[in-house]
Amino acid sequence: MTTQIAPQVSRPTSVPLTAGHLPKGAPWIVLGGSLVVSAALFGILALASGGFDWGGWLVVGALLSVFAIWLLSRIVEGARRATDRLVTALVTGAFVIAMIPLISVGVTVVVGGLARLDVQFFTESMRNVTGEGGGALHAIVGTLLITLAAAVISIPIGLMTAIYLVEYGRGALARGITFLVDVMTGIPSIVAGLFAYALFAIFWGAGTRTGIAGAVALSVLMIPVVVRSSEEMLRLVPNELREASYALGVPKWLTIVKVVLPTSIAGIMTGVTLAIARVIGETAPLLVAAGFTASMNYNLFEGPMNSLPLFVYTQYTQQGIPQHAYLDRAWTAALVLILVVMLLNLLARAIGRRLAPKSGR
Amino acid sequence: MTTTAPARSQPKATLRLGDRVFSRTAVAAGLMILVTLAAVAIFLILRSIPAFGATSEDASILPAGENFWGYVWPLVFGTVWAAALALVIATPLSIGIALFISHYAPRRLASTLGYIVDLLAAVPSVVFGLWGILVLAPAVQPIYSWLVENAGWFPLFAGPVSATGRTILTAAIVLAVMILPIMTAICREVFLQTPVLHEEAALALGATRWEMIRTAVLPFGRSGIISAGVLGLGRALGETMAVAMVLSATPGLVSFALLQSANPQTIAANIALSFPEAYGVNINVLIATGLILFVVTFAVNAFARWIVSRRREFSGAN
């Protein structure tokens, strides 16, 4: 078996250190063996039915290897180590399972999206387009405008709230605001959309769908994220800096503006970028509050305004003929959307690294 | 500095204009949060009052002979059922992934692996919807057929099987994928906070890695796991687009069957699907269902916060 034979020269009572252990590479060998066995099994099935079942091969192979390593360890190493090996296999398996949707989404979006990733997609709207052709310029412009408006609303409110909580907030009000910010993080996006719709319906009549309503809906989702991340960054600013500033006779508000904010600006900008990345992909609130259209609309305050997520949604739900033209546009818009979100995330990391306060001077 | 200080015993702090303006602005911004949340509640309540007494004569969206509550009950059931299924799938997975990242993977890889899992959170929900309907549903349909054929005696797997795969189980899988990153992130944070001394003590007593995790890490992280689960539940309850696209729902149905072509609808998805064409009192009815969703998620989140607040360091927003 896998245990080594004790060298003859040593005393009869001595046991080698590796006795009762599987060799180091055992799990990998078992995994490979199981996959081969599984391949053989499915190969025979494939001969009978004609097609090789790749998914079935992987699943059966993985399950077989988990069972085999447990059994092998149980025989060689005993029950406790067998459980340990079983859990290791399961935990690794959980991670691998989580990778499946990620890889699958990535591959399908890239493969499906490359079909229409052309100049026309970025330079034309869907006005008077049925069937093939057309582009998402109106949706891209809409997403940019709505997100920009949402950022303009949320960043000042969010940042000032964070400053209040860190620099001024005492007592019941601060505690209440902290609690409500936490609650706001959990507002379902569609409820934010309904709120913006109800708000604008009261002042501008029922059925009003404008870009700014969508921006208000997105701000409801964005403000708590901005508050949370900024608050955390402001708390990281060492108190000595504030005290040094006060000692020089600088008023409190100037201390905040000139000392506290510059020290924490990198973290705050990272948080803001992440908040933007989070709301830019929201669909439901815009569906309710901003509506959708096939035409260009540069005016936030009048008429429905399309956005990239809604473009994906409407291209899928309102398919025409030929079907593939609509699906291709949907996938391409999805690809662009994911790329934008990724870009924002990378930007956030880059900002965090570039603007980090210089230390040790 | 030859002049002596004025003989004032208590130097009076002069409040500068800038100070006053700045602190007032800060307070005003904080109050905006209060106002916004109150406004959300008030506007939703105002707009949904007409719905509570509505009958099928006022609002065409209500099924014949039903009042509002008869309409909303199947939706509440569908919402809770889909979210619960998603939670059942996501909880063991996220604990496993968090353990893998915190205790099994090589130290140098840990943060990279965490970042990879967080990538899942960067995918917009509408893309998950598209993926669920065009990739996942066709992929799992054969498995569903097999399950119905071989395990159809089990009530949850009762047939007839859906031909498209767009069942509530598929929707729950998509939801589970979407709540994985937040749940994993919270679990990972608590697992990493386990006192190293506890872990080393367990190992020194001869525990295997799993025994160390069972005796030191999991008891320490229990409240974190619970709050991760509740936060994930809150996310799953409110998730809209993925469910709206993936689920092929039958309005008004209350059914536990996982694999049939007739499935209960969720509140959020119902709003997204019906709202663009709604008019008159129908709009009020839909907003009222949104209000109920708001109340449910508020309660769930408040519960999660209450658990988290016993450990201040982590929350869902970061």
* Cα(A291)–Cα(A313) distance, integer angstroms: 12
CATH number at residue A270: 1.10.3720.10
Same domain? A233 vs A142: yes
Contacts of B110 in chain A (CB under 8 A): none
Q: Is A6 part of a structural domain of the chain?
A: no
- ipTM here: 0.84
* Cα(A309)–Cα(A330) distance, integer angstroms: 9
Closest by Cβ to B297, choosing from A169, A186, A338 = A186
Same domain? A200 vs A332: yes
A59 shares contact with chain B (CB less than 8 Å) = no
Same domain? A209 vs A293: yes
Same domain? A52 vs A132: no
Same domain? A105 vs A151: no
Backbone phi and psi for residue B263, each to the nearest 5 degrees, phi listed first: -130, 150
List the domain range (segments joined by +) for residue A261.
122-354
Q: Does residue A49 surpass a pLDDT of 80? A: no
Same domain? A249 vs A217: yes
Q: Does residue B4 surpass a pLDDT of 60? A: no
Instruction: Give pLDDT tens digits for A234-291.
Output: 998 999 999 999 999 999 999 999 999 988 888 898 889 889 988 998 888 998 888 8
Contacts of A341 in chain B (CB under 8 A): 122-124
Q: Which residues have a Cβ under 8 Å from the Cβ of A190 and sit 6 or more positions away?
A: A284, A285, A288, B238, B240, B268, B271, B272, B290, B293
What pLDDT score does A11 carry? 56
Where does a domain end: A62, A90, A116?
A116
Where does a domain end: A56, A87, A116?
A116
A330 shares contact with chain B (CB less than 8 Å) = yes
What pTM was estimated for this model as a whole? 0.86
User: Which secondary structure element, helix H or strand E, spans residue A348, and what is its range?
Assistant: helix A323-354
Q: Which residues have a Cβ under 8 Å from the Cβ of A90 and sit 6 or more positions away?
A: A66, B96
A53 shares contact with chain B (CB less than 8 Å) = no
Same domain? A288 vs A327: yes
Backbone phi and psi for residue B249, each to the nearest 5 degrees, phi listed first: -105, 155
Contacts of A88 in chain B (CB under 8 A): 104, 209-210
The CA-based angle A25-A26-A30, given to 5 degrees, is: 125
Q: Is A13 part of a structural domain of the chain?
A: no
* Cα(B302)–Cα(B298) distance, integer angstroms: 6
B51 against A159, higher pLDDT: A159
Closest by Cβ to B30, choosing from A165, A192, A292 = A165
Same domain? A44 vs A110: yes
Which of 3.30.70.20, 3.30.56.10, 1.10.630.10, 1.10.3720.10 would CATH assign to domain B20-308?
Answer: 1.10.3720.10
Where does a domain end: A78, A98, A116?
A116
What pLDDT score does B155 carry? 82
Contact map slice: B 222-241 vs A, CB within 8 A: 231, 234-235, 237-241
Question: Can you state the angle between helices B17-52 and B281-308, rounded to 10 degrees?
Answer: 130
Q: Is A220 part of a structural domain of the chain?
A: yes
Instruction: Give pLDDT tens digits for B284-302.
Output: 888 899 999 988 888 888 7
Same domain? A208 vs A308: yes
Same domain? A162 vs A93: no
Kindly list the domain boundaries of chain B, sorted by start residue. 20-308
Q: Report the domain count for chain A.
A: 2
What pLDDT score does A162 carry? 93
Strands (E), B40-138: none
Q: Is A78 part of a structural domain of the chain?
A: yes
Instruction: Give pLDDT tens digits for A1-31.
Output: 455 555 555 555 666 766 777 888 888 888 8
Same domain? A143 vs A109: no
Closest by Cβ to A316, choosing from B130, B209, B304 = B130
